[in-house]
Structures are given as C-alpha cells and as structure tokens.
Amino acid sequence: MKERKEIIKEKCIFVEANKRYSWCSCGLSNKEPLCDGSHKETAGSLPIRMWFHKDQKIFISRENGKLQLRIEEKE
C-alpha cells in the first residue's frame, strides 16, 4: 500500500482554458498534484475536478492533508 503524502511544497502549474484538471485529494498519487487514480485504494477519496475559463498559473500545495490553490493571472 502506498504512503499518503501529507505535505507537498508549492508547485506552479500552467493550466489551459476549457481543459479539465483532476487534482489529487488522497495524497497517494505519483503524479501529484495531479490525480493518477491511486484514490481507488482508499475509501471515500475522489479527485477534485476543475475547469478554468482562461489560461493562467495555478500554485498548488498540500499541508496537513488539505489541498490549497492560489491562482495568478497570466501576464
């Protein structure tokens, strides 16, 4: 069984408009912060799915199991 990652340092990801993103909420993904389906090993965990209206930078981190997003407008 994989070990849950409680803390990930802030990562910057560029997201594209009208594209779906699935963020890991279980802490087990090898592609963190993106989901790789590892939540299937846990009960009650599902990815957080989001679409964005425009191209932009997303800063994502996890602390104490809580996913945190910060959005920055594309320059």
Enter the DSSP assignment of 27: S
pLDDT at 4 over 80: no
Enter the DSSP assignment of 44: S
d(CA 38, CA 21): 16
Task: List, in sequence order, every beta strand (DSSP E) within the chain.
Answer: 8-15, 20-23, 48-51, 56-63, 66-73
Rg of the chain in Å (alpha carbons):
13
The amino acid at residue 55 is D
pLDDT at 10 over 70: yes
Mean local confidence (pLDDT), 21-50: 86
